[in-house]
Amino acid sequence: MFPAAFDYRAPTRLDEALSILKQHGDDAKVMAGGQSLIPLLKLRFAHPELVVDIGRLPALNAIKRDDGHVSIGALTRHVDIEHSRELASSAPMMVEAVRWIADPLVRNRGTLVGSVCHADPAGDWGSVMLAFGADIVARSQAGERVLQADGFFQGPFTTALRPDEVVTEIRIPVWKGHSGGAYLKLERKVGDFATVGVAVQLELDAGKVASAGIGLTAVGPHNLKATEAERRPSGFFTARSRRTRASSRLPGLRRLPRNRRTTCAGAPPTRRTSFVSSSSAGSGPRSGARGRSGHEGLT
């Protein structure tokens, strides 16, 4: 299927892009890597009069350490994140999560910011942003707004962005102290969108959880922040009792019955436990699904 006819502009300055968007409002669509927008155009799920290609705007493709956060510019592609030394040391979950996204072809063109703005409830980055507590920086002719990831996702393919805004960067806070995280995804085959996914970022203090961030993929109308579950493990979550307490005490999540758990084909059994959000409790992970090679599946 061919897209409906549209005009195309490729500004080379941000102020020019903002002026075009102000002028055209809802009739214009920003394009970064085009990995989600172009399929939508071809299927005629989107039919803007104008596509504004931001791919030629300078200085939007950097990954920079700033005051307490890492700034990831709007043109930073998934592949740039995969190879970023800065992120590998300050936010390693980013580098782990990116390997779950699509395939190298998509990762070579698609961007983190485009993915977050696309707001697919089955998109992986949204959960990672919620777990980290990222900030999304949007610019328009009216100025700059800094939006928290929590609240940014408002429904399927719907965000808090206005039509005249361009996201210029996403800020990933660098968690202090002894911290780390993981992204786990269940997919039918390598490269698929998530059947279910979970991002968890923890900060430990003397073996106990000082704070936690949890984001869930493909269990609701948009990526969900498991706010209550984040509060519960604080202070009592020791390594020794981690498994039983995780399974029994996280509200909003319940342990799957043994006969509904899936294991990663070919992978050794792990001590991780399957969880399913209460909102998707009826469906659960599909049997036969397997994790990405090199990752443990949800078991």
Ligand X SMILES: Cc1cc2nc3c(=O)[nH]c(=O)nc-3n(C[C@H](O)[C@H](O)[C@H](O)COP(=O)(O)OP(=O)(O)OC[C@H]3O[C@@H](n4cnc5c(N)ncnc54)[C@H](O)[C@@H]3O)c2cc1C
Binding site for ligand X (CB under 6 A): 29-37, 39, 54, 74, 101-102, 106, 110-111, 113-115, 117-118, 123-125, 161, 166-167, 193
Cα 140 to Cα 19: distance, rounded to the nearest angstrom: 8
Q: Cα dihedral angle (180, 186, 187, 190), rounded to 10 degrees?
A: 50
- Closest CB 77 distance from ligand X, rounded Å: 7
C-beta of residue 28 within 8 angstroms of C-beta of residue 51? yes
State how far the alpha carbon of 135 is from the alpha carbons of 40, 51, 117, 138, 286, in Å.
26, 26, 13, 10, 33
Residue with Cβ nearer ligand X (69 or 118): 118
Instruction: Output the smallest distance, CB 107 to ligand X, in A.
Output: 7
Six-digit token string for 256: 């799957």
- Chain centroid to CA 272: 22
Query: Residue 115 or 211: which CB sits closer to ligand X?
Result: 115
Q: From CA 263, how far away is CA 223, in angstroms rounded?
A: 24
Toward ligand X, which CB reaches closer, 52 or 246? Answer: 52
Angle CA 119–125–128, to nearest 5: 125
Which of 51/276 has CB closer to ligand X?
A: 51
Q: Least distance (Å) from ligand X to the CB of residue 40?
A: 7
| Nearest approach, Cβ of residue 268 and ligand X (Å) | 24
The residue number whose beta carbon is nearest to ligand X equals: 110
Q: Which is nearer to ligand X, 165 or 230 (CB)?
A: 165
Least distance CB 101 / ligand X (angstroms): 4
CA 38 to each of CA 9, 18, 46, 68, 104: distance values in angstroms, whole numbers, following the listed order: 15, 21, 9, 35, 18
Closer Cβ to ligand X, 101 or 184, answer by number: 101
Q: Which of 4, 21, 23, 26 is nearest to 168 (CA)?
A: 21
**DSSP secondary structure letter of residue 1:** -
Q: Closest separation between CB of residue 130 and ligand X, Å?
A: 13
